[in-house]
Structure 1
Amino acid sequence: MAKPMTKTQLVAALADKMDTDKKTAGNALDALTGLITEEVSNGGAVTLPGVGKIYCRERPERMVRNPATGEQFKKEADKQVKVTIAKALKDSVNG
C-alpha cells in the first residue's frame, strides 16, 4: 500500500492543477475543509462529485461491553461521521 499524500503534497498538487501558487491552493483547501466541517457538524451532508458523500449519522443509546473486563455499561447516544464513496471513484480504482 502506498503512503498517504500529506497536506503539503496535496497543496502542491492542487496548486499545479489550478495553475496558481501554493498559498492560494492552501487557502482553497482550508476553506473547503472548513465548509465541510461546518455543514456536517450542523447535521447536514456534503456531496463531492466523483468522490462521495460525507454526512453525520446519529447513533442511539446502547449497551456495550468492555472487552478487557466483560463489564456491560450503557453508552450515551452520539454522532458518527460517515463517508459513502461514489461509484465513479470505485470504478476508476477497480477498472
Structure 2
Amino acid sequence: MDVRVTSTVVEIATKDMQRALGFYRLLGFDIPDPDGPHVEVDLPGGNKLAFDDEEIIVGMHPGWNPPTQQGRVALAFAVGDPSKATRCTKQ
C-alpha cells in the first residue's frame, strides 16, 4: 500500500487559552476570538494551527495529564527579524 502522509494540523493544548492566543496574535496570526474550548486558524500551505483547552483533551483522552515540564512539543516558525520574535516571548 502506498501511503502519503501530509501534515494537516498542529494542535496546542493550553490551560490559558487567552494567553496562548494572545502570544500567537503577537506573532501576526489572525486568530478569531474563541466561542468554545477549541480554536483553529489556517496556516500557509493548507495546514491548520489548533488550540484546545486542557479539559477538551481530557474528554478525548481519559487519563491524560497536562505536561509538568517544557519540551513536550516544539514548533518553529520563520520570522524576518528574530529580535521581534524575542520581544514577543518576553511579553
Report the TM-score, using the length of structure 2 for normalisation: 0.23
Instruction: Identify the structure with bigger relative contact order (alpha carbons < 8 Å, sequence gap 6+).
Output: 2
Relative to total residues, which structure has the larger strand share, 1 or 2?
1
Report the TM-score, using the length of structure 1 for normalisation: 0.23
Relative to total residues, which structure has the larger helix share, 1 or 2?
1
| Largest Rg, 1 or 2 | 1
